Amino acid sequence: MNIYFDNAATTPLDPEVFEEMKPLMLDVFGNPSSTHAHGREARTKIEHARRKVADLLNTTPSEIFFTSGGTEADNTAITCCVDAYGLKHIITSKIEHKAVLETAMKMEELGLAKVSFVDLDHQGHINMDHLQSLLKNNSRSLVSIMHANNEIGTLNDINAIGELASEYDAIFHSDTVQTMGHFAHDTQNLKCHFLVGAGHKFHGPKGVGFLRVCKSKRIGRFIHGGGQERNHRGGTENLYGIVGMAKALEIAYREMEQHEKHIRGLKDRMIAGLTERIPGVSFNGDVRDGHSLYTVLNVSFPPSDDNDMLLFNLDINGVSASGGSACNSGASTGSHVLTGINAASDRQGIRFSFSKYNTADEVDFVLEKLVEILEPVMA
């Protein structure tokens, strides 16, 4: 049995999305910037996709800009916002995705903005009192706080963060890559100026994403070149990727309630099975309903000399999981997220992340394999 429990890294393409993309790969090949019939056909497909994404997020098409993925969207929001508004202060957290962390630190390295890190509790929730203090005691700020952490799944209340940021005339960007397609985002009732999506996180294609820019905010170009994306991003658009992503988001919203119920059931089953069968197991982040991304479970097993081999042993038993953020795969420095919440350094974190295609039988199989692998430690 081959089991894929690394859906926070990427998800399998939905067959319905593939069917939507297929004709565009072969028949609709015109450059969307061309004015002839072939180009106009491609442009029409892109604008229909933009309208679809905008409708799902309860916004207007003029606020949706297509990108190559979440990393580019995060980079664009931070760098262009600092430039457009002359911001000298960025507030973020030490457990953000590297697309945010490294971009913010680059701004500081270049002398463009000072970076402050908001305090976190041991589960990864931000300290709202400290955030208010940072907003109050510094110049106008860019707040960049993710909705859900990609490694431990802890959710932040971005409604509350947005309300607080607005009190101090701060600009608020949230990396919503992990929650897009899994939670409904009503942008008209959310005080967040920049939201981010990546198609491959909700069963769409890789290499395509979007940035939602609130109509009250205007930023310049991140990628220079032609006048694509209303002069905001140079480069010929990824036509079939954009259309596929829009279709994937449509399916995600259409089936969100049933998928959440199913996936949450798998996560709860995994938690119960691990707790019952593996003494000393613990969970990183907040696993409570309503406080956690229901697709992600980060587990620490009892300390052992074989901990470093756990992912390898799962892999040879047909189970794909992650040792943290997929963007850190192969890194020797460990998880900056687990370090950021002061997790025990002798307990490796294994991230299991679930999708609509996983089953209860797969959870039970993984539990059996974990018991087999860890039996010498538990003896």
User: What residues are labeled active site?
Assistant: 327
Q: Please give the domain boundaries of the chain with CATH numbers for all domains.
A: 3-11+256-378 (3.90.1150.10), 15-254 (3.40.640.10)
CB atoms within 10 A of CB 376: 10
Q: Which residues contact 297 (CB under 8 A, 6 or more apart)?
A: 153, 267, 270, 271, 283, 287, 351, 352, 353, 354
Strand-pair category, 3-4 with 319-320: parallel
Q: DSSP code of 304?
A: -
Give pLDDT, residue 344: 76
Rounded to whole angstroms, the Cα distance separating 213 from 229 reads 12
List, in sequence order, every beta strand (DSSP E) within the chain.
3-4, 64-67, 89-92, 114-117, 141-144, 171-174, 194-198, 209-213, 282-284, 296-300, 319-320, 349-353
SS3 for 126-138 is ECHHHHHHHHHCC
Token pair listed for 262: 């199913």
Q: Could you give the dihedral angle defined by the CA atoms of residues 137, 139, 140 and 146, in that order, rounded to the nearest 10 degrees?
A: -60
CB-based burial label for 13 (10 Å; 0-12, 13-18, 19+): middle
Give pLDDT, residue 57: 98
Rounded to whole angstroms, the Cα distance separating 92 from 87 reads 14
pLDDT in tens, the chain (379 residues): 899 999 999 999 999 999 999 999 999 999 999 999 999 999 999 999 999 999 999 999 999 999 999 999 999 999 999 999 999 999 999 999 999 999 999 999 999 999 999 999 999 999 999 999 999 999 999 999 999 999 999 999 999 999 999 999 999 999 999 999 999 999 999 999 999 999 999 999 999 999 999 999 988 889 999 889 998 899 999 999 999 999 999 999 999 999 999 999 999 999 999 999 999 999 999 999 899 999 999 999 987 766 678 999 999 999 999 985 434 444 456 789 998 998 877 677 899 999 999 999 999 999 999 999 988 766 6
Assign residue 286 a region (left: φ > 0; alpha: ψ between -120 and 50; beta: otherwise): beta
Give pLDDT, residue 375: 82
- Burial pattern 268-281, b for ≥16 Cβ within 10 A else e, equals eebeebbeeebeeb
Rounded to an integer, what is the distance from CA 9 to the centroid of its chain?
9
Rounded to whole angstroms, the Cα distance separating 158 from 293 reads 13
Give, for 355, the enclosing helix (H) or strand (E).
none
CB atoms within 10 A of CB 119: 15
pTM of the complete model: 0.94
CA angle 75, 77, 78 (to 5 degrees): 70
